[in-house]
Structure formats: structure tokens, C-alpha cells
Amino acid sequence: MIVQSKGMRLSKKILLITGWGGGAELLKPLHEALEQCEHTVERINIFNALDEQVLQQQVEYARAFDVILGWSLGGQLATLVVHQIEKQYEEQKVLITLASNPCFVGQESWSNAMPVETFQQFKQSFEQDAITTLKRFGFLVCQGADTARKDFLVMQKLIRPQSIALLKQGLLMLEQLNLVEIYENYQGDQLHVIAEHDALVPYQVMQNIHNLAAKNLSVVSIDGASHGFPCFMVEQTVQIVEDFLNEKV
């Protein structure tokens, strides 16, 4: 059962963007829970934002929504989309990211991220044996929660096979994107939700994001959560989203 916030509630059009590796079905439970809160919800898979034409198509599609919400790589894609909408149309959408790092692979200016060597090893492993690497990635998504074993089994039922080409494009985006400046300068409302025990996005990134002191930026954490909390801690995730949206009414 979803606990609804008291006071005025406003139905929103919400676009969900999933993360790397498993397809949009992974966010189906979150999608359905948000619909129970009277929102209109659509969900999409990752897309190649490094292709300007593909990005533009998604920007035009996303304009019809009030809230762009992304998980992991999907959070980075959501960030790119709201930035382009603001830049091209002078419109601000609500940006919400879940377990997402604006700079996934460490750089000199953003060190709370996956070390370059670790990412390169993962990428090489994917090139050599995609299926085994995806399974390992699934364990990392669930790692850190007390319910990791159960969560992994739940996730297996939701995962859909992905094209190798799209997965490779996703890895390239994770490697190259640094969206810290967008976080700093975006004029719309933004919420970033970080997991305490995330095995892919360091918990310390929460402080980095908080330190950006952007105009309308909020950052919160979920205790005891893994990277996969949007799939496995749906009620808590929805409550955080609802509280944030109701604050902004």
C-alpha cells in the first residue's frame, strides 16, 4: 500500500527512463505505483544520447511531461533531456534522478565515482562475455541490501534481453558523460536520491551534489538501500517522489 501525503495533490505527467542492462520492465513496479498515486506515467528504455538526432527525438517526446525521472544511466539521460528542453524551449521540467551519478566514471574534478580502471575492466569483460558480465552487473545492482538474494531473483523476472549495440552505446555514455555543470546551473526543480549501500554509485557522492548549492536542488538518501532501490523499495521511492512533488505544488 502506498502512503499518500496529506494536503493538495496534483496529478503529474511523469516520464520514467530506466538504467543500463535490463530494459524498461525493471521500472514496471515503480510505474504502476506512481499510477496508483493518480499520475500519468510512461516509461522508456535507455537511448543513445551521444547521437544528436536520437537525443532530439527524445527531447521532443519529453516536452509533453511535467517530470522526467531516471534511474542510474537513465538519470543522466533525464538530466540531458531537461537541459535541452530548457535550452531550446525555455521550459523547466522537474528532474528526479535515482541512484545516479552525474559523472559515473571518476575524473579529476569528480572523484566520488567508479575508478577508471574498474570501469575499463568491466567494459573489457563485457566485450569478451556479455552474458556473464550482465549477470555480474545484476549482482552489483542488488548488492548492499539485506534482501540482495531475493532482490536478484525478482530482478531476473523483470529483465528483458537488450541489443548488444545499445548496451555498448550505454557503456560509452557512462564513460563519457559529466553532467555536473547541468546540476549546478539548471533552473528547474531537481531531486537526487542516493542509496546508502550502492555498489555502483558511491554514497559520498551525496555530499558532492549537496555542495553544488544549486538553486532548486534537493538531495536525499535511502538507508540500507542498494543501487536497485527503485525496483525493490518501491513504496519508499514513491513516498520520496510524492513528498518532493507535493512540496513544489
What's the CATH code of the domain at 189?
3.40.50.1820
Give the mean model confidence (pLDDT) for residues 218-237: 98
Classify residue 243: in a domain, yes or no: yes
| Number of domains the chain is built from | 1
pLDDT at 8 (0 to 100): 56
pLDDT at 249 (0 to 100): 63
pLDDT digits (tens, 9 = 90+) for 164-187: 999 999 999 999 999 999 999 999
Classify residue 3: in a domain, yes or no: no
Look at residue 214 and tell me whether its pLDDT is greater than 80: yes
Interatomic CA distance for residues 17 and 137, integer angstroms: 18
Classify residue 169: in a domain, yes or no: yes
198 within 8 A of 225, measured Cβ to Cβ: yes
The model's confidence at residue 204, banded by pLDDT at 50, 70 and 90, is: very high
The model's confidence at residue 1, banded by pLDDT at 50, 70 and 90, is: very low
The distance from CA 39 to its chain's CA centroid, rounded to whole angstroms, is 19
Domain that holds residue 238: 13-247
- Ramachandran quadrant class, 62 (left: phi over 0; alpha: psi -120 to 50; beta: rest): alpha
Q: What strands lie across the sheet with 13-17, from one edge to the other?
A: 40-44, 13-17, 67-71, 94-98, 190-195, 217-222
Rounded to a whole number of angstroms, the CA Rg of the chain reads 17
Classify residue 5: in a domain, yes or no: no
Classify residue 151: in a domain, yes or no: yes
Of 108, 102, 82, 134, nearest to 201 by C-alpha is 102
Give the angle 27-42-147 at the CA atoms, nearest 5°. Answer: 10
The model's confidence at residue 9, banded by pLDDT at 50, 70 and 90, is: low
Classify residue 8: in a domain, yes or no: no
pLDDT digits (tens, 9 = 90+) for 42-92: 999 999 999 999 999 999 999 999 999 999 999 999 999 999 999 999 999
pLDDT at 14 (0 to 100): 99
Three-state secondary structure string covering the chain: CCCCCCCCCCCCEEEEECCCCCCHHHHHHHHHHHHHCCCEEEEECCCCCCCHHHHHHHHHHHCCCCEEEEECHHHHHHHHHHHHHHHHHCCCCEEEEECCCCCCECECCECCCECHHHHHHHHHHHHHCHHHHHHHHHHHHHCCCCCHHHHHHHHHHHCCCCCHHHHHHHHHHHHHCCCHHHHHHCCCCEEEEEECCCCCCCCCHHHHHHHCCCCCEEEEEECCCCCCHHHHCHHHHHHHHHHHHHHCC
Classify residue 234: in a domain, yes or no: yes
Look at residue 2 and tell me whether its pLDDT is greater than 70: no
Percent of residues, the chain, with pLDDT higher than 70: 96
Classify residue 2: in a domain, yes or no: no
Interatomic CA distance for residues 122 and 137, integer angstroms: 9
Dihedral, 69, 21, 99, 236 alpha carbons, nearest 10: 70
Phi, psi of 67 (to 5 degrees): -130, 130
